[in-house]
Amino acid sequence: MFAGKKILVGVTGGIAAYKVAEVISRLRKLHAEVHVAMTKSATEFIAPLTLQSLSANPVHVELFDEPKLWNVEHIALAKHIDVVVVAPATANILTKMAIGLADDFLSTVLLATRAPIFVAPAMNHAMYHHPATQANLALLKDRGIQAIGPDTGFQACGTEGDGRMSEPVEIVESLARFFAGVEWLKGKRALVTAGGTQEPLDPVRYLGNRSSGRMGYAIAQVLQEAGAETILVSAPTDLPTPFGVTKLSVQTALEMYDAVLARFHEVDVVVMAAAVADYRPAVQAEQKIKKNGSNRTLELVPNPDILAQLGRMKTSQILIGFAAETENLLANAQLKMQRKNVNLIVANDVTKPGAGFGSPTNIVSFLFPDGRRIDLPQMNKLEVGRHLVRELAGLFGMDIKE
């Protein structure tokens, strides 16, 4: 599907610039015509000669170089290409794109072209979460620019967090989907739950759990990217709402139950990634409970099992549940799959390092009612979500072989 496609790879100055060599190499192997424009800072991270050799085309850096291919080169290139992918896309280039600044070859082409643009943001997580970067990204997405990633994980600055450039294979896959026109879940409506419910004891305390919401938010993001109209029913988290996703905030299991059931008949798939409290305090004190020095006993009453209820109500909907286990992972997950009548259960052993609560990564197995099982290695939660989307497309009867 890449044969003859004219792709401009814009490279900006971040450590992830070295990974773009693989993007270019993969695109060339798939018979794309690849052009490269680098910012001056990018040339500090990777030599233009490397990218020239891999792309088999001259690399553009300076706006006023001798023309290499056409006259008024940046305009000619802007018209020539079918798609642009900026990888890595630094906070700086995102800002320039947002305000329309054209002060070097790449930013000028980005302003001049009418070809679709993809960006693969890559930066330190604090820079990524800065309101300025988030506002720029939101503005660019509003204009139709598509973001690939970023992923979460170890960063070159020594910290962990969001802001790692997506892997080259994912960047190429995104372009492949674009050229194939494949949005697997276009026309589908999805509902995802995320985070840990909070069950109030009094106005200042609650019973909660360790869920950060990352798993559910990642799934909502990839479902949306795959074309599904996505609702995220979220218990309290610190996470930004994925672009384009409709978020409904809840606190307790009962609120989540009401929010999910109210929308169940409107959706084609529900993914229950939330950690829902099985019990809540029998009484919620109206005032802060005072200490009195003696032991206290807390009476708990069961919460409804949302997923089991959906399992009883489902007609054509696909139900995906999670099983958070600390022992007998597969056997317990299997039982939950049957008891809750789901089409797929994602089993995670939440005691494993790099899996479960709070971690940017997870280690999961997908279990299906027909006995099929897929064991995935440790990977970041967006990648888990992408694997899940593929399986979901399969459950909808689509041919998911690429």
Q: Report, as residue numbers or ranges, the catalytic residues.
A: 157
Distance CA 17, CA 90 (A): 10
Binding piece for ligand PMT, criterion CB under 6 A, among 80-88, 115-123, 226-234, 305-313: 305-313
Selection from 317, 219, 214 nearest residue 269 by Cα = 317
Binding residue for ligand PMT, selected from 108, 124, 212, 234, defined by CB under 6 A: 212
| 306 touches ligand PMT by CB under 6 A | yes
Closer residue to ligand PMT in complex, CB, 41/309:
309
Task: With beta carbons less than 8 A apart as the criterion, state whether 337 and 345 touch.
Answer: yes
Binding residue for ligand PMT, selected from 269, 350, 379, 392, defined by CB under 6 A: 350
Task: With beta carbons less than 8 A apart as the criterion, state whether 360 and 160 touch.
Answer: yes
| 273 touches ligand PMT by CB under 6 A | yes
Binding piece for ligand PMT, criterion CB under 6 A, among 33-41, 184-192, 351-359, 392-400: 351-359
Count CA within 13 A, CB hemisphere, residue 120: 31
| 219 touches ligand PMT by CB under 6 A | no
In the complex, what is the shortest distance from the CB of residue 376 to ligand PMT, in angstroms, rounded to a whole number? 12
Closer residue to ligand PMT in complex, CB, 14/356:
356
Tokens of 48: 């233009």
Residue 304 has what DSSP assignment?
P
| 307 touches ligand PMT by CB under 6 A | yes
Binding piece for ligand PMT, criterion CB under 6 A, among 62-70, 112-120, 154-162, 302-310: 302-310
Q: Which residues pair with 373 in a beta bridge?
A: 367
Binding piece for ligand PMT, criterion CB under 6 A, among 53-61, 129-137, 176-184, 275-283: 275-283
Binding residue for ligand PMT, selected from 152, 211, 230, 343, defined by CB under 6 A: 211
Q: Which helix (H) or strand (E) holds 190?
A: strand 189-194
Distance CA 148, CA 365 (A): 25
| 215 touches ligand PMT by CB under 6 A | yes
In the complex, what is the shortest distance from the CB of residue 106 to ligand PMT, in angstroms, rounded to a whole number? 36
Q: Mark 314-343 with x for binding to ligand PMT (rule: CB under 6 A) and - for no binding.
A: -------xxxx-----------x-------
Residue 54 CB partners (closer than 8 Å, separation 6+): 21, 24, 25, 28, 34
Closer residue to ligand PMT in complex, CB, 172/310:
310
Distance CA 22, CA 27 (A): 8
In the complex, what is the shortest distance from the CB of residue 309 to ligand PMT, in angstroms, rounded to a whole number? 8
Strands ordered across the beta sheet of 83-89: 59-60, 33-38, 6-11, 83-89, 117-121, 146-147
| 239 touches ligand PMT by CB under 6 A | no
Question: Residues 351-355: contacts with CB within 8 Å, 24+ apart?
Answer: 351/326, 354/378
Closer residue to ligand PMT in complex, CB, 199/225:
199
Which residue type does 391 have? Answer: E
Binding residue for ligand PMT, selected from 11, 276, 337, 382, defined by CB under 6 A: 276
Tokens of 227: 């074309």
Selection from 304, 282, 274 nearest residue 202 by Cα = 282
List contacts with ligand PMT (CB under 6 A).
211-215, 253, 272-276, 278, 303, 305-307, 321-324, 336, 348, 350, 356-358, 362
